[in-house]
Amino acid sequence: MGRALLYAFLLLATLFFLLPVYLVVLTALKEPAKITLDTVWRWPDPVYWESFRIAWEAFRPKFQNSLVLALTATALSALVGALNGYVLAKWPFRGSGLLFALMLFGMFIPYQSILIPLFQFVKAIGLYGTLWGLILVHVVYGIPIVTLIFKNYYSEIPDELVEAARIDGAGFFAIFRHVILPLSVPAFVVVAIWQFTQIWNEFLFAVTLTRPESQPITVALAQLAGGEAVKWNLPMAGAILAALPTLLVYVFLGRYFLRGLLAGSVKG
Amino acid sequence: MRDRITAFLVLLPSLVAVGVFVYGFIGQNLWASLTDWGRNPAQALALRPELKFVGLENYRELFTGFVDMRFRQSVVNLIFFTLFFMAGSLGLGLLLALALDRSPKGEGFFRTVFLFPMALSFVVTGTIWRWLLQPQGGVNVLPTLVGLPPLSFPWLTTRDQVLVFDWNALPFYTALVVGLVLLYLAWRAHREGEPKRLAWSLLAAGILFLWAFTVGRGLHLLPYPEPHGFSLALVGVILAAVWQMSGYTMALYLAGLRGIPVEVLEAAKVDGASEWQTYRHVIFPLLAPITLSAMIVLGHIALKIFDLIFAMAGLDYAPTDVPAIYMYLLAFRGNQFAKGAAIGLLLLLLVAVVVVPYLASQLRKEVRR
Percent of chain A with pLDDT over 90: 69
Model pLDDT, residue B366: 63
Closest chain B residue by Cα to residue A147: B14
Q: Which of A27, A140, A218 sits opposite B121 (nearest CB)?
A: A218
Tell which CATH architecture fits domain B71-160+232-335.
Orthogonal Bundle (1.10)
Sequence letter at residue B133: L
Instruction: Specify if A116 maps to a domain.
Output: yes
Instruction: Identify the band that residue A241 occupies on the pLDDT scale cut at 50, 70 and 90.
Output: very high
Model pLDDT, residue B269: 86
**Structural domain count, chain A:** 2
Q: Which of B2, B138, B251 sits opposite A258 (nearest CB)?
A: B251
Mark whether A146 and A42 lie in a shared domain. no
Model pLDDT, residue B10: 95
- CA–CA separation, B207 and B201 (whole Å): 10
Rg (CA), chain B: 25
Mark whether A80 and A132 lie in a shared domain. yes
Task: Give 10-residue mean pLDDT values along chain B (369 residues).
Answer: 90 96 97 88 71 90 88 94 97 96 91 92 94 83 80 84 87 90 91 89 92 84 87 94 95 91 88 88 90 91 94 89 95 92 96 84 68
Q: How far is A152 from chain B (nearest CA, A)?
A: 14
Sequence letter at residue B84: F
> Average pLDDT for residues A158-162, to the nearest whole number?
92
Say if the Cβ atoms of B24 and A117 lie within 8 Å. Answer: yes
Mark whether A149 and A35 lie in a shared domain. no
- CA–CA separation, B107 and B190 (whole Å): 42
Q: What is the ipTM of this complex?
A: 0.91
DSSP H/E element including B57: helix B57-64
> Average pLDDT for residues A116-123, to the nearest whole number?
95
- What are the chain A neighbours of B122 within 8 Å (beta carbons)? 201, 203
Model pLDDT, residue A266: 44
Say if the Cβ atoms of B344 and A116 lie within 8 Å. Answer: yes
Q: How far is B270 from chain A (nearest CA, A)?
A: 22
- CA–CA separation, B255 and B309 (whole Å): 31
User: How far, in Å, are A25, A66, A225, A242, B121 from residue A201 at the CA level?
Assistant: 20, 9, 16, 8, 5
Closest chain B residue by Cα to residue A263: B252
Mark whether A66 and A99 lie in a shared domain. yes
Instruction: Specify if A138 maps to a domain.
Output: yes
- What are the chain A neighbours of B303 within 8 Å (beta carbons)? 110
> Average pLDDT for residues A208-232, to the nearest whole number?
85
Q: How far is A96 from chain B (nearest CA, A)?
A: 9
CATH of the domain at A155: 1.10.3720.10
Q: Is B38 left (phi over 0), alpha (psi -120 to 50) or beta?
A: left
Q: How far is B216 from chain A (nearest CA, A)?
A: 30
Sequence letter at residue A207: V
Tens of pLDDT, residue by residue over A41-75, are 888 878 888 889 988 998 999 999 999 999 999 99
Tell me, letter by letter, the H, E, C secondary structure of B255-322. Answer: HHHHCCCHHHHHHHHHCCCCHHHHHHHHHHHHHHHHHHHHHHHHHHHHHCCCHHHHHHHCCCCHHHCC
Say if the Cβ atoms of B351 and A109 lie within 8 Å. Answer: yes
Does residue B323 have a cis bond before it (omega within 30 degrees)? no
- What are the chain A neighbours of B99 within 8 Å (beta carbons)? 6, 9-10, 13
* CA–CA–CA angle B328, B334, B339 (5° rounding): 65
Work out the burial of residue B64: count CB atoms within 10 Å of its CB; fewer than 13 is exposed, 13-18 middle, 19 or more buried: middle
Model pLDDT, residue B344: 96
Mark whether A227 and A105 lie in a shared domain. yes
User: How far, in Å, are B91, B204, B247, B280 from residue B88 at the CA level?
Assistant: 5, 31, 11, 20
Closest chain B residue by Cα to residue A26: B138
Question: Where exactly are the structural domains of chain B?
Answer: 71-160+232-335, 171-220
Model pLDDT, residue A268: 32
- What are the chain A neighbours of B15 within 8 Å (beta carbons)? 99, 103
Say if the Cβ atoms of A110 and B324 lie within 8 Å. Answer: yes
Instruction: Specify if A140 maps to a domain.
Output: yes
Residue A167 has pLDDT above 50, yes or no: yes
Enter the DSSP assignment of A253.
S
User: How far, in Å, are A61, A97, A200 from residue A57 at the CA level?
Assistant: 8, 50, 19
Sequence letter at residue A208: T
How large is the greatest C-alpha to C-alpha distance in chain A, in angstroms?
A: 76
Question: Domain of A212?
Answer: 58-266
Instruction: Specify if A53 maps to a domain.
Output: no
Q: Which of B301, B363, B241, B343 is nearest to A108 (CA)?
A: B301
Mark whether A94 and A222 lie in a shared domain. yes
Instruction: Please tell me which residue, A202 or B259, carries the higher pLDDT value.
Output: A202
First to last CA, chain B: 32
- What are the chain A neighbours of B24 within 8 Å (beta carbons)? 117
**Does residue B229 sit in helix, strand or coil?**
strand
Q: How far is B323 from chain A (nearest CA, A)?
A: 10
